[in-house]
């Protein structure tokens, strides 16, 4: 089980280039055909560039290498559930931007759970800064480590 001692641990900064092909592929996957994601001229006129869907930054979680993860230490991945996800969107993000993300462990909490017995909540935060040094977003993720294997 993870404990409080890992709070504040930070991963190595990682780059996240915002690419149109990935943005429109993601928009299609969430069934959003809005022209802002598919028509560059329309997007430029309407919103100043091709924007990213609200949850798009989640994709960075899956192609950063291990050194960019703050590391939860001792966590049994078979007992992990995604409990909550939050995005604070501070400034616009457009295709062509290159973001730098830094992830840290924000909190570790113990809680009595239902199906899986005692739970540990692991809260991680990733801050994204653009190529001009502006903080554009914060993604906050709560993973739940259950005390025993989770039943379907």
Partner 1 sequence: MAKKLKFDSVKVGDEIPPFVVNGVTRPDFVRYAGASGDFVPLHYDQTFVEAAGIPTVFAQGMFTAGLLSKALTDWAGIGNVRNFKVRFATRVWPGDIVTCSGKVTGKHESGGEKLIEGDLIVLNQKGEAAIRGSFRAVAA
Binding site for partner 1 (CB under 8 A): 22, 25-26, 28-32, 34, 36, 46-48, 51, 53-55, 58-59, 61-63, 81-90, 92, 151-152
Q: Please report, for residues 1, 2, 21, 44, 135, the alpha-carbon distance to residue 96 in angstroms, rounded to integers and kept in the order given.
A: 41, 38, 11, 12, 16
**Toward partner 1, which CB reaches closer, 93 or 108?**
93
**Toward partner 1, which CB reaches closer, 1 or 81?**
81
Euclidean distance between CA atoms 94 and 130, whole angstroms? 10
**Toward partner 1, which CB reaches closer, 3 or 28?**
28
Q: Report in angstroms how near the CB of residue 26 gets to partner 1 at its nearest.
A: 4
Q: Which two tokens stand for residue 124?
A: 């991680």
- The kind and range of the H/E element at 79 are none
């Amino acid at each position: 089980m993870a404990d409080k001692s890992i709070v504040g641990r930070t991963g190595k900064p990682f780059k996240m280039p915002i690419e149109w092909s990935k943005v429109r592929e993601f928009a299609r996957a969430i069934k959003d055909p809005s022209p802002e994601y598919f028509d560059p001229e329309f997007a430029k006129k309407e919103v100043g560039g091709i924007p990213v869907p609200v949850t798009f930054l989640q994709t960075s979680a899956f192609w950063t290498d291990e050194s960019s993860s703050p590391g939860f230490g001792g966590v049994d991945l078979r007992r992990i559930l995604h409990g909550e996800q939050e995005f604070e969107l501070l400034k616009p993000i457009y295709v062509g931007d290159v973001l730098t993300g830094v992830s840290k462990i924000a909190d570790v909490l113990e809680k009595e759970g239902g199906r899986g017995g005692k739970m540990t909540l692991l809260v991680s935060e990733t801050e994204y800064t653009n190529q001009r040094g502006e903080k554009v977003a914060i993604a906050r993720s709560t993973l739940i480590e259950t005390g025993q294997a989770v039943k379907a």
